[in-house]
Amino acid sequence: MTVTKTQAPVSVDEGKRAAGAEPVGSARSERLSALVQQHGALAVLVIVSLVATFSFDSFATGDNVSNMATSSAFLAIVALGMTFVIITGGIDLSVGSLFALGGVLAAWGSRHGTLVALLLPLVVCGAVGVVNGLLVARSRLAPFIVTLAAMLGARGLMLAITDEGANTYLIGKGSFLAELGQGTTLGLGNPVWIMLALFVAGAVVLRRTRFGQHVYAVGGNEDAAALMGAPVARTKILVYTLSGVLAGLAGALNAAWLASGVTILGNGMELEAISAVVIGGTLLTGGLGYVSGSLVGVLLLKVIQNVINQIGSLDSSYQQVVSGAFLAVVVVAQTWLGRRRQLM
């Protein structure tokens, strides 16, 4: 499989150098590299936010911050599921399509009551996630190609529901669903609170439960995890299911926020989510990652987007260029830090 086994071979003299390194210095530099890995994105986020606050009067206003928080919430929920998948050493490229599908299903289902509107996206997107997981875990197909196909299939399904994208279903005003998406509690939009609750739950699951430990074990070394008796296949199926459900939920909330199931959303969202997760310090090779880092990664992407919008003269396409460049820098740094740590 392409995803799990690309590690540059260590040349002989690098190995010698590492063996001769001083123990004290290496411990310190290891701690430093771990610190950069875990909190580097947070530091950049703080710096960018401070610079933006002093440069633009309209940046640190209540309205702008609350808007940024709400628009980050949807991507953050998708990135949470992606974090689990990436820690197992996989990747889920279908989340953008599932996000759009979830939104359309929620809006379509809202005509049949709130319960249908909320459950339908979760069930359908979860089912796509189960299929992804089965193909990856049981049939041992490469995750990127399975989920790439799922991305195509889910978008096809979404188009089939909406008469080839010609039909946009609306969500009635005053319904519970609309309130869930548009209402505010204590000054922050409801989606933000839902997102925060999910992240707390996600962090607890990842750190404090057996399932969470299995996720790390599978990503760290699949064969070793299997030998130790960890349920490798079940863990993988669960993470892809979780990713599908969360993408569907994010789509449903987004549709509730917009009051309609917009069909053209979610294009390229998988790339944004992966960027956010990687920027947040989760290793794409699996086995190491932080839920909190993914949230920081999402916020960083959104703050940069906001700054680019504030500048005004810059086209919004610059956002993609900056994200891509940022992703490249982070990946190079990660590989470099990772290799140093391995040598010690």
Partner 1 sequence: MAEAALKTVPLDRARALQWLQRYGVYAGVALLLVVNIVITPHFLSAENFRTQAVQVAPVIIVALGMALVIGTEGVDLSVGAVMALAASVTALYLGYGLVPALLVVALFAAGAGLANGALVALVGVQPIVATLALMVGGRGLALVLLPQLKDLRNPQLASLGSGDVLGIPYLILIAAVLALLVAFTVRRTTFGRQLLAIGDSRPAAQLAGLPVRRVLIVVYVVSALLAAVAGVLATARLQASDPTSLGNLMELSAITAVVVGGTPLTGGRVNIAGTVAGAVLIQLLTATLIKHDLPPSWTQIAQAVVIVAAVYAARGRGKR
Kindly state whether residue 275 participates in binding partner 1, applying the rule CB under 8 A.
yes
DSSP 226-245: HHTT--HHHHHHHHHHHHHH
Please give the DSSP secondary-structure letter assigned to residue 255.
Answer: H
Residue 27 or 321: the one with the smaller Cβ distance to partner 1 is 321
Residues 73-101 as b/e (b if ≥16 CB within 10 A, e otherwise) read bbbbbbbbbbbbbbbbbbbbbbbbbbbbb
Residue 199 or 240: the one with the smaller Cβ distance to partner 1 is 240
Kindly state whether residue 9 participates in binding partner 1, applying the rule CB under 8 A.
yes
- Sole binder of partner 1 in the list 26, 68, 144, 310 (CB under 8 A): 144
Kindly state whether residue 141 participates in binding partner 1, applying the rule CB under 8 A.
yes
Kindly state whether residue 15 participates in binding partner 1, applying the rule CB under 8 A.
no
- Sole binder of partner 1 in the list 27, 152, 197, 201 (CB under 8 A): 152
- Sole binder of partner 1 in the list 21, 34, 149, 205 (CB under 8 A): 149
Rounded distance, CA 97 to CA 251, Å?
9
Instruction: Write down the residue that tokens 């932080």 correspond to.
Output: 290
To partner 1, the closest distance from the beta carbon of 246 in angstroms equals: 21
Kindly state whether residue 278 participates in binding partner 1, applying the rule CB under 8 A.
yes
- Sole binder of partner 1 in the list 98, 100, 327, 337 (CB under 8 A): 327
Is the separation of the CB atoms in 279 and 301 below 8 Å?
Answer: yes
Is the separation of the CB atoms in 53 and 214 below 8 Å?
Answer: no
Q: Which stretch binds partner 1 (CB under 8 A): 16-24, 25-33, 211-219, 335-343?
A: 335-343
Q: Provide the token pair at 108.
A: 């379509």
Kindly state whether residue 168 participates in binding partner 1, applying the rule CB under 8 A.
no
| Paired strand residues for 170 | 260
For the beta carbon of residue 332, count every other beta carbon within 10 angstroms: 10
State the first-to-last Cα distance of the chain, in angstroms, to the nearest integer: 27
Q: Which stretch binds partner 1 (CB under 8 A): 202-210, 222-230, 245-253, 321-329?
A: 321-329
Kindly state whether residue 311 participates in binding partner 1, applying the rule CB under 8 A.
no
Is the separation of the CB atoms in 102 and 247 below 8 Å?
Answer: yes
Task: Kindly list the residues in this chain that would bind partner 1 in the complex (CB under 8 A).
Answer: 1-3, 6-9, 91, 135, 139-142, 144-146, 148-153, 155-160, 164, 268, 271, 274-275, 278, 284-285, 315, 317-325, 327-328, 331-332, 335-336, 339
